[in-house]
Copies of this chain bind each other. A is one copy, B any other.
Amino acid sequence: MADTPTEADPDPHEEIMRATYRALREHGYADLTIKRIADEYGKSTAAIHYHYDTKDDLLTAFLDFILDQFKDTVHEVETTDPEQRLELLLDKLLVDPRDHQDLLVAILEMRSQVPYNDQFRERFQQNDEYVQYLLRTVIDQGIKTGVFDDVDTDHVAQALMIIVDGARTRAVVFDEEDSLETARQTAAEYVTAALVADD
């Protein structure tokens, strides 16, 4: 009857995270209840509470779960050429998400809870710092090897973050995946205008 009548499912925690994912996708954060998660899990609500004391604990664990997924998709690439490295990183931030639209929605929605949840804010800030660090590193490398102009690394990294966030937000709100494409182009234009040495 179940959709995966195969082998035993290993970790209940992992299963609950996936169930939370599905429940969130279907009902949205505001209407996300233990009951709905339990339904997706295929077990009782008490089963959820056996593994997670409170709803808050579960949601915090879930945020860690999806941010880990995000980190995986952005994971660094093996290239020594700074320009190519930056291009690939921006691709991962702006092109890849099209295949992970659900992840994008989940992240956006939980992010909008930041003003009301300290746990969420802490984790999103840390995640943001990580991505910004990746960008800064690539830009710095480019400057050191003379491929990029000697610009304000912090400013450029932040500017690119703004473009990335804007594009991802718009890709979710208006499902025009178009905006990811436009953003990719905009980011490229910005990099060329602000970074690439033209002397």
Contact of A186 among B28, B113, B159 (CB under 8 A): B159
Contact of A173 among B105, B124, B174 (CB under 8 A): B124
Interface residue SS majority, chain A: helix
Contact A189/B183 with A30-B113, A115-B105, A166-B164 known, Cβ cut-off 8 Å: no
Interface mask (A98-118 → B, CB under 8 Å = 1, otherwise 0): 000000010011011111100
Interface pair B182/A159, CB less than 8 Å apart: yes
Question: Complex Cα distance A52/B142, Å?
Answer: 59
Question: Complex Cα distance A186/B189, Å?
Answer: 12
Does A95 lie at the interface of the complex (its beta carbon under 8 Å from any beta carbon of B)?
A: no
Interface pair A162/B182, CB less than 8 Å apart: yes
> Shortest distance in angstroms between A56's beta carbon and chain B's nearest beta carbon?
12
Question: Complex Cα distance A71/B162, Å?
Answer: 23
> Shortest distance in angstroms between A53's beta carbon and chain B's nearest beta carbon?
20
> Shortest distance in angstroms between A106's beta carbon and chain B's nearest beta carbon?
10
Contact A158/B173 with A30-B29, A105-B115, A166-B167 known, Cβ cut-off 8 Å: no
The chain A residues found within 8 Å of chain B, CB to CB, are: 27-31, 105, 108-109, 111-116, 121, 124-125, 128, 155, 158-159, 161-167, 169-170, 172-174, 179, 182-183, 185-186, 189-190, 193-194
Q: Jot down 14 A-B pairs with beta carbons below 8 A, ordered by A.
A: A28-B113, A105-B115, A111-B169, A111-B173, A112-B112, A112-B172, A114-B173, A121-B173, A124-B173, A158-B182, A159-B182, A162-B179, A166-B169, A186-B190
9 extra A-B contacts, CB within 8 A, seeds A108-B112, A159-B186, A190-B193: A27-B116, A29-B112, A112-B112, A114-B173, A128-B174, A159-B182, A163-B163, A165-B166, A186-B190
